[in-house]
Amino acid sequence: MAKARTGGCDCGRGEESREGDVWDEPERLQVRRTLIPEGDNTAFERIMGVSDIFPINYLSRGVAAARAVCKVQLYRGGRIPAGAGSGFLVGPNLLLTNNHVIRSRNSAALAKAIFRYEMNEDFSLDRTAEFSITDELFFTSPSNQLDFSFVSVEGDNEGKVALADFGFLRLLPQSGKAVKGEPVSIIHHPTVG
């Protein structure tokens, strides 16, 4: 395994490897290696091989990440629901969602970010926190290209909950945080339709 971390990684591609598997570029794999905790001698095989075994902190880390994820509720004038999507905080009062969710400053000004939009053990919602999305900051891409929108969110709500309590998921500029063939877990609010 030490050889795998310093170069020449076989990435768990032993006898269990499938014909035609696509493995990522060396530069991206090196970035991925730097994100694996030092001393975790099974992480790379677990991530790149066929095993789907994860440590228990996979769940608690997912719960921690989920704090910054919200349901983006869209409205027409007069608070008439007009669809929903997902978003997540990437900085103080800064939300990242898709362009196909929020396409314009006008739709941003009518939208709400609902945090803790989660079912409890009894399958009911009981602790949501709603914040107004504003048109104060708005930056987007064409939906047929990168499909993103950055929007601003008010820092406090009527329930006296601070948006800062939900933290944020830091964006990393380098490529390689996930590599081809690696499974991912997505925390989001899919639209049911």
- To the question of pTM greater than 0.75 for the whole model, the response is no
Q: What are phi and psi of 135, to 5 degrees?
A: -100, 10
Residue 8 has a pLDDT of 38
Domains observed in the chain:
2-13+21-63 (no CATH), 69-166 (2.40.10.10)
Pairing assessment for the beta strands 94-97 and 112-115 based on DSSP bridges: unpaired
Q: Which of 115, 101, 97 is nearest to 164 (CA)?
A: 115
Digits of tens for pLDDT over the chain (193 positions)? 333 333 334 444 444 445 555 567 888 888 877 888 777 766 665 555 456 677 899 899 999 999 999 999 999 877 888 899 999 999 999 999 999 999 999 999 999 999 999 888 888 887 899 999 998 999 999 878 889 999 999 998 887 889 999 999 999 888 888 888 877 888 888 665 4
Per-residue confidence (pLDDT) for residue 123, from 0 to 100: 82
| Contact assessment for residue 53 and residue 81, using Cβ atoms and an 8 Å cutoff | no
To the nearest 10°, report the CA torsion of 72, 98, 62, 191: 60
**Cα 189 to Cα 21: distance, rounded to the nearest angstrom:** 31
Distance CA 86, CA 133 (A): 13
And the tokens for 105? 């400053």
